[in-house]
Each structure stands twice: as structure tokens, then as C-alpha cells.
Structure 1
Amino acid sequence: MNEMTTLATLVTVHIIALMSPGPDFALVVQNAGRYGRQTGMMIALGLSLGILLHAILSLTGASLLIHQHPMLFALLQAVGGSYLLWLGIGALKGTWQHYQQRHQPAEQQTAKQEAQRVLANRKQALAKGFTTNILNPKALVFFISLLSTLVPASMSLGGKATAICLLWGTSFLWFALLAWLLTGARLQQKLQRWTPWIDATCGALFTLIGSLILLSIIAQ
């Protein structure tokens, strides 16, 4: 298999994985729908930077070393699972608060909505996207498996650099496209009405994945 074929296969598998529903996908849907296009784009950039770091660590062998040390990998799983669980509980709590606010005076509702908007700044959106991806232990295992299987040790330095750039570029383009599509004028109006349901669904997904990761540590 020549380098061009290897890179094409790598990108194809990666794109399929990106389109699969998971924490990254849910994070873009939840935040772009609530806070708008700019926040969605920053989340997309943060997620893609996390993938970029995963790719670099996997190709340099650092991720494999982490995976081969049970205690270190268990620690990463615990941190990642706890973070996803925290995101999930926060989203579910936000859904509950939304229903409570429906019975509050309009002035109080507006004040709380403005407080939420303040939290949706660029740096926080970027950090949230990056943290969600880089702390996901399933992402670490995926990239170790993907790159160790498809990228031979004999691949040139230029080929490996190209692979890293392609993984980052396709990741950013996919999540940015998703954020852009979700923040069209008509769809944005609908999403604002569906926000509680989106938060509840994403919260349930984060909570489930985080809980399963933590339970897998206990079961080991």
C-alpha cells in the first residue's frame, strides 16, 4: 500500500468515525443550538485541536506508552469519565432549571439567560471543545488503533505530517460544517425551542458514556 492509498484510507475511516454520534458530536449540537454560530465554531476548533494532539501523541508513541501502563491509563479513564459525567449532570440540571424558570417572572428569566450568555465566550468554548476530546479515553484508544494499523512505521516523515494535517483538517471542517448548518436562521429558531430536549438528550449521552467509563474501571 503506497502512501497516497494509506492517507486516503486513513481519512475515510476517520470521517466515518467523526459522523458517528458521540460526545464530540453532542457537544457541537448542544452548544451551537444554544449559543449560536460563533460558539459552535470555537467548539469545533477546540475539538479538532484535541484530535490534532491525539494524532501527534499516537504517531510519536506517547499514547501507546500511556495505554500500556494500566495505572496511568486508568487515571486518564477516571479523569475523562468524571469530566463527561460532570458535563452530563450539568446539562440535565440545566434542563430542570429551564422548567423551573418557566414559572418565574420574565425579568428573572432574562437575567439568568444573560448570565448563561456570559459563559459562552470564545475562550471557554475553545477550552470546552479541547477538554472534551482530549480527556475522552475512547478517543485515545481509537487513534492508537487507527494509526498503528494504517500508518506503517516505515512511512516518511512528510507522510506522517500529512496524515496529522489531514486528521486535523477533516475534523475541523466536519465540526465547523455541523455548527454552521445548525445555526442557520430558520433552524436556529427551532433549536431555541428545542433547547431543553437537546440539553436533556446530550446530558443523558454524556452521563451514560461517563458512567460506563467509570464502571469499566471499577470492573477491572
Structure 2
Amino acid sequence: MEHLLPLFSIVVAIALGAISPGPSFVLVARTAIAGSRGAGLGTALGMGLGGLTFATLALLGLIALLAQVAWLYLGLKILGGLYLLYLGWRLWRGAREPLAVDTSGQAGQGAGQGFWRAALLGLVTQLSNPKTAVVYAGIFAALLPAQPLPLWLAVTLPAAIFTVEFVWYALVATAFSAGGPRRLYLGGKTWIDRLAGGVMAALGLRLVFEGARG
């Protein structure tokens, strides 16, 4: 029972971080509203897998090591920022391109492929931000007990983090793939895509600037 409180505290802290707007939210919302609910859920799955990866690395102590190796952390910041800049550029470049949206609700021939492509994109986007990794390390270091963890907690904690991340972004995907948000998007696609691309690029520039500044 003594380990239930740190488990609950870590899950709540990670959930609050996931709810905070950022590149992950922008990507899931835009994928769901511009593509399909399935693609949005695929992206949400990728976000959950990213959270699972960060939680596992935090338990293994690798993220704490990353925080101590300044040059590696700064290098990952720059690479992650460049990746977000690339995503922002792609959104901005394609803002004027017309979009054919399938509103039939039927799964097309490439639906499965699109789901897994979106999942991979979500995973890479989640892992591209090393600041998230350090946040995980800080939360785990502050809230986990110092003594060796029981096996059940070491297994339950990453699974709980995956569930929190996936469920939140699945809710985002479901909400933004509804008819109303989709019609709003189609009516203002150019400016919405440019706004989303600008947000991605700004976050990427911030990471690059922080990494270059050291």
C-alpha cells in the first residue's frame, strides 16, 4: 500500500503535463480533423508508446544520465527542434492544397496503413522533445521511493503512463474528428494549417535556440 501514493502522484503529474497544449496536442488534433478518426487514434497510440518509452527509460535511470551529459542533451534538443521545424514547414507548405476528406465513416483500403503511419508519426513527435524526457526524470526522481521498487510497481507504472497518454490523446482525436470541428477546419484550412505550422515551428525554434545557447 505504501507504493500506491507515489504511483497515483506520478500518474496525476504526467496527466497534467499531457493535458497542457504542446506539439503533441497540435499534431493529434490536426491529424484527426484533417484526416480521419482512425488516423487521429493512430497518432494517439504513438503518443502513448512515447510515454511508455519515457517511463521505462526513467525507471532504468537512462533519462537521469541524459540530464547529466550536457552535450548530449543539448544535441538532442537541436535535433528535436529541427524535426518540429520540419513538421511546421510541411504544414505551412501544404496549407493551400485542397483536402479530400472521407466523411462516409467507412474504412478505406489503406486505412490500416494510414493508422500505423500516423502512430509512427506520433511516436517520433513525442520522442523528439528531450525536455519531456527530463520532465519524466524529474517527476520520477521526486516522487518514487528511494528503495528498490517491487516488480508489480515497475510493471504497472509504465503501463499506467501509456494509458494516460493514449486515453487523453484518443479523446482529443475523437473530439476533433467530429462533424462540427471538421467543417470548421475545411472552411478555414489555409489559415488553420498555417497557425498549426507556425506553432510547430515556434516550438522547434525554441528548442534549437535553447540547444545552441547551451
TM-score, normalisation: structure 1:
0.86
The answer to whether 1:67 aligns with 2:74 is no
Contact (CA 8 Å) 1:33, 1:195: kept in 2 or not? no
| Percent of aligned positions that are identical | 28
**Residue of structure 2 equivalent to 1:166:** 160
Alignment of 1:33-182 (within 5 A): 33-95=33-95, 98=96, 113=100, 121-154=114-147, 155-182=149-176
Unaligned runs of 5+ in 2: 102-107
Cα displacement (A) at 1:198: 2.7
Unaligned runs of 5+ in 1: 102-108
Once the two structures are superposed, residues 15-64 of structure 1 have per-residue CA deviations (whole angstroms, 9 ceiling, x without a partner) of 11111100111111111110010100000001110111011001101111
1:121 is paired with a residue whose SS is helix
Cα displacement (A) at 1:74: 1.9
Q: Which one has a larger percent helix, Structure 1 or Structure 2?
A: 1
Contact (CA 8 Å) 1:58, 1:64: kept in 2 or not? yes
Residue number among 198, 210, 213 corresponding to 2:192 in the alignment: 198
Contact (CA 8 Å) 2:41, 2:115: kept in 1 or not? no
1:190 is paired with a residue whose SS is helix
The aligned amino acid for 1:137 is P
Over 3 Å off, 4+ runs: 117-120
Contact (CA 8 Å) 2:91, 2:194: kept in 1 or not? yes
Contact (CA 8 Å) 2:78, 2:212: kept in 1 or not? no
CA distance in 2, matches of 1:137, 1:178: 23
The answer to whether 1:183 aligns with 2:177 is yes
CA distance in 1, matches of 2:6, 2:135: 17
The answer to whether 1:210 aligns with 2:210 is no
TM-score, normalisation: structure 2:
0.88
Contact (CA 8 Å) 2:89, 2:201: kept in 1 or not? yes
Contact (CA 8 Å) 1:43, 1:129: kept in 2 or not? yes
Contact (CA 8 Å) 1:45, 1:172: kept in 2 or not? yes
1:15 is paired with a residue whose SS is helix
Cα displacement (A) at 1:13: 1.4
CA distance in 2, matches of 1:198, 1:143: 31
